[in-house]
Structure 1
Amino acid sequence: MITLDQLRISFGDTEVVKGVSFHVANGESFGIVGESGSGKSTILRALAGLNQHWSGSMDIGGEAQTTKRAKRFYRRVQMVFQDPYGSLHPRQTIDRILAEPLVVHGFLNIEKRIADALSEVALPQSVRFRFPHQLSGGQRQRVAIARALISEPQVLLLDEPTSALDVSVQAEILNLLTDIREQKKLTYVMVTHNLAVVTHLCTRIGVMIGGQMVELVSANDLRAGNVTHPHTAELRKLSLNLEEPEID
């Protein structure tokens, strides 16, 4: 579904992504981990079409991508952001937030699609005419996921989707994302700094440091400590000393 080859991204004279290559199979969930400033979110924004200053080769869904994307791209590829409050328009009702992508992409049966989208993310229909500030953080992130899903994409890009939430709510959102991927056969790419989160949701993980992807490892090997790069071992050691979400 996704192939990156020698992706390079610079801001001014500073190169922040330095020749990163990886592929993600159709229906796979791929994670990118690294410390702040490692370049992981910058890669995700380039995949989403939000960063046009890149070079290299990018193929999504069998189509070579350029720095400018066609309208149909934004139906096939959707992104869920870290801050569920900042990503939702504060003066729009949930109904209008969910209706907007349907109108943009020319969907019919808007009323039913909105009702179905709320049900898919386990939100009551009563939230439909509320505003984002009237919802909890977990409910807002469920709305953000519903908005991403409502245009029937093939790929979801997840930018630290649980880091702004309480630990108990993190587990709920991760389980929801796992169920949705299995039901809809979606392809995920998620960036995070949390190894417990990434090993729960993703089967393969790329480890970033200083703009480079220094190791590709399976979730099972990362859990077991079967890693080769010192930075991966260091990240794993640090994660063992932190309080992590209990995920069923």
Structure 2
Amino acid sequence: MIDVDSLRVRFGSNEVVKGVSFHVPVGGSFGIVGESGSGKSTVLRAISGLNAEWSGRIVIEGETMKPRRDRAFFRKVQMVFQDPYGSLHPRQTIDRILSEPLLVHGIGEIEARIEKVLAEVALPSTVRFRYPHQLSGGQRQRVAIARALIAEPEILLLDEPTSALDVSVQAEILNLLADLRETRRLTYVLVSHNLAVVTHLCPQVGVMIGGEMVEQLSAEDLRAGRIHHPHTSQLRALSVDLEEVA
């Protein structure tokens, strides 16, 4: 479904992504983990079409992408952002937020689709006419996921989808995303600094530092410590330490 080959992204004289390559099969889930500033979110923005300044090769479902994407691409590929409060328009009701993608793409049956997608993300229909500030953080992220799903995409790009949420809510959102991938046969690329989040959703993981993907390995090998690059070992050790403290 997704092939990224020798992706490079430069901001002025600063190269922030340096020849990153990976593959995600149809219905698969690939995680990119790294510290802040490692370039992982920049990779996601290049795939999503939000950043047109890149070189290399991005292929989606057999089609080589150009820097500028057409409307059909944005129906096929949707993104869920880190901060659900920042990504939802504060002066629009949930009903308007969910209607807008359908109107943009000329998709009918708006009423039925909104009811269906709210049920899929386990939100009551009563939230439809509320505003984002009237919802909890977890509910807002469920709305953000519903907005991404409502045009029936094939790919979800997830940029730290749980990092702005309380720990007690993170597991609920991760389990929801796992269920949605299974039922809709979605393909995911997940970016996170949290190894536990990545290994929960992704059987394959790429580790980034300084704009480079220094290692790709399975979640099983990561859990077992079958690691080759020292930076991966450092991330794993830090994750274990944090979990012990928690």
In the superposition, the TM-score normalised over structure 1's length comes to: 0.98
Question: What SS class does the counterpart of residue 214 from structure 2 fall into?
Answer: strand
The residue that corresponds to 2:164 in the other structure is 164
Tell me, in whole angstroms, the C-alpha distance in 2 between the residues paired with 1:238 and 1:114.
41
Residue 100 (structure 1) aligns with: 100
Equivalent residue number for residue 16 of structure 1: 16
Query: What secondary structure, in the 3-state scheme, does the structure 2 residue paired with 1:106 have?
Result: coil
| Other-structure match for 2:122 | 122
Partner of 1:181: 181
Q: Secondary structure at the match of 2:243?
A: coil
Q: 1:143 corresponds to which residue?
A: 143
Count how many residue pairs are aligned between Structure 1 and Structure 2: 245
1:243 counterpart SS class: helix
Q: What is the distance in 2 between the residues matched to 1:5 and 1:188?
A: 17
Give the distance between the partners of 2:109 and 2:103, measured in 1 at CA: 10
Are 1:25 and 2:25 an aligned pair?
yes
Amino acid corresponding to residue 122 of structure 2 in structure 1? A
Deviations 1:35-64 (A, max 9, x none): 010000000000000000000011011111
Q: Give the match's secondary structure for 1:108.
A: coil
User: Following the alignment from structure 1 to structure 2, what is the Cα–Cα distance between the partners of residues 25 and 58?
Assistant: 14
User: What does residue 204 of structure 1 align with?
Assistant: 204
CA–CA separation in structure 1 for the residues paired with 2:34 and 2:243: 18
CA drift of 1:243 comes to 3.4
Q: CA deviation at 1:136?
A: 0.1
Question: Is the aligned partner of 1:55 residue 2:46?
Answer: no
Amino acid at match of 1:149: L
2:141 partner amino acid: Q
Q: Distance in 2 between matches of 1:108 and 1:218?
A: 41
Tell me the CA shift for residue 161 of structure 1: 0.1
State the secondary structure of the residue aligned to 1:142. helix
Superposition deviation, residue 97 in structure 1: 0.1
C-alpha distance after superposition, 1:4-42 (max 9, x if no partner): 111000000000000111111010010000001000000
- Rounded to whole Å, the distance in 2 between the matches of 1:143 and 1:85 is 10
Distance 1:51 1:172 in 2: 31
Q: Which residue in the other structure is 1:243 paired with?
A: 243
1:70 is the counterpart of 2:35? no
Structure 2 unpaired stretches of 5+: none
* TM-score (normalised: structure 2): 0.98
Secondary structure of the corresponding residue to residue 16 of structure 2:
strand
Amino acid at match of 1:148: A
Name the structure 2 match of 1:223. Answer: 223
Cα distance in 1 for residues equivalent to 2:195 and 2:19 = 24
